Amino acid sequence: MTFAPSDRAARRLVITGGAGFIGSNFVRHWCDRYPTDRVVVLDALTYAGNRATLADLEAGDRLRFVQGDIGDRALVDQLLRDEQIDTIAHFAAESHVDRSILGPAAFVQTNVVGTFTLLEAFRHHWQAAEGDRDRYRFLHVSTDEVYGSLRETDPAFTETTPYAPNSPYSASKAGSDHLVRAYFHTYGMPVLTTNCSNNYGPYHFPEKLIPLMCINILLGKPLPVYGDGQNVRDWLYVRDHCTAIETVIHRGQPGETYNVGGNNEVRNLDLVKLLCGLMDELALQYGVTLPQSPSESLITFVADRPGHDRRYAIDASKIKRELGWEPSVTVEEGLRQTVAWYLQNEAWWKPLLSPAYQDYYSQVYGT
Ligand code: NAD
Ligand code: TYD
């Protein structure tokens, strides 16, 4: 579902976490779709934030970049006021389960306390607004992981599935979702929440499954599959997530939550094998010599992640029925594009393999 610029009034947005994976894809999407909107990116540039991802947009004067923490109330107040913001698209978070196991404090700080600070700032700004308050929106980007783990035969998560988060990451996201919900019920603030399944695509930080496998294949390193590799995730191409969020900002009912998914449940081991096959095929096409082939020979089973959720699956029928959104990219096509992107964009991912990243890598996978 897309909207012609003539169907809508211009918006003035703050996009938090806009230098991260999904946030940067969304910034790019929004700037392409609505070139006359005001876009301000607020990002703390943690290890996961990369300003270089937005360099072309910044150079073209398409956005204002502000380096700062969503937990900095004075900064957020000033931004909302000075920029006359009417819309927040809130992506900023600590987002990696394995890091939340190693050190949960940052997750509580950013995901819970940071989101609370943003909600409070937006509430005061919205309440003080003169004129058309109805167009204000606070879009909170959340995850399907808040619903916990499914067994093989369980039905997919719906918007009424009880929350049962299992990792410090998902627990902190659940906490933020509850706060967002409370701001609608208590203050009538026009909030919206999306709970999305696993994303993949360009600009994905190397620590997550798909970029990690692509990069390790390119470097000839082992492909670490946790446990028996039979855990299931639903995968959505990141650009489809961006159109879902765009749709919910424009047409979602304030106070509602929307599940977003790709209708693509895949077992981890099958996914990794698919990636290996695509790499072997596309490397030839792009004239890249892989250090080891076939890539599948790099697959290595490693100790399971503690508390590893077995299966996630999303029932995205509500957003389709009520707002007309559905994914447009099949997993085969999306993975092909993603593998091709990692093959062609070594200049983006190589600098991210810093000594700090190597330290993290040894903590999770051993040396
Ligand atoms: P990411 O880790 O790639 O990016 C997070 C961004 O937030 C980074 O740019 C980082 O610098 C910034 N950030 C972190 N703490 C901050 C703070 N205190 N103040 C300001 N900025 C801060 O994450 P992502 O994968 O792009 O995820 C974006 C959002 O989508 C998150 O809220 C995540 O929970 C949610 N989500 C992710 C997925 C997925 O598959 N990646 C799926 C569903 C939902
Ligand atoms: P991940 O990308 O970390 O996303 P999430 O944990 O939020 O779903 O992991 C996706 C799946 O891949 C998950 O079941 C854990 C598994 N996995 C591995 O088997 N090996 C790895 O090195 C990583 C990072 C993940």
Structural domain contains residue 354: no
Quick check: bond before 254 cis, omega within 30?
A: no
Cα angle: 57, vertex 60, 65; to 5 degrees:
50
88 in contact with ligand 2, CB cutoff 6 A: no
pLDDT reported for residue 5: 53
198 in contact with ligand 2, CB cutoff 6 A: yes
pLDDT reported for residue 8: 76
Structural domain contains residue 34: yes
Identify which ligand lies nearest to the alpha carbon of 202. 1
Structural domain contains residue 313: yes
Structural domain contains residue 64: yes
Q: Whose CA is nearest to atom 41 of ligand 1?
A: 199
Most distant pair of Cα atoms in the chain: their distance:
63
pLDDT reported for residue 130: 84
pLDDT reported for residue 9: 85
pLDDT reported for residue 336: 98
**Domain that includes residue 29, residue range:** 12-203+237-262+308-329
Structural domain contains residue 22: yes
Give the closest residue to 16 by CA, choosing from 120, 74, 90, 118.
90
Identify which ligand lies nearest to the alpha carbon of 230. 2
Structural domain contains residue 222: no
Give the closest residue to 245 by CA, choosing from 15, 7, 9, 4.
15
| Residue 99 Cα to chain centre, angstroms | 16
Pocket test of ligand 2: the residue of 142, 172, 233 to mutate, having most ligand atoms within 8 Å of its CB, is 233
Give the catalytic positions in this structure: 144-145, 169
Long-range CB contacts (within 8 A, 24+) of 55-61 = 57/27, 57/28, 57/31
pLDDT reported for residue 322: 98
Pocket test of ligand 1: the residue of 22, 143, 352 to mutate, having most ligand atoms within 8 Å of its CB, is 22
pTM of this prediction? 0.98
Residues of the chain with pLDDT under 70: 1-7
pLDDT reported for residue 7: 60
114 in contact with ligand 1, CB cutoff 6 A: yes
CA 200 – CA 238 distance, rounded (Å): 6
Structural domain contains residue 356: no
CA 178 – CA 221 distance, rounded (Å): 41
Put the strands of the sheet holding 265-267 in their side by side order: 198-200, 232-237, 265-267
Structural domain contains residue 357: no
CA 69 – CA 118 distance, rounded (Å): 10
Q: What's the number of domains the chain is made of? A: 1
CATH number at residue 159: 3.40.50.720
261 in contact with ligand 1, CB cutoff 6 A: no
pLDDT reported for residue 33: 97
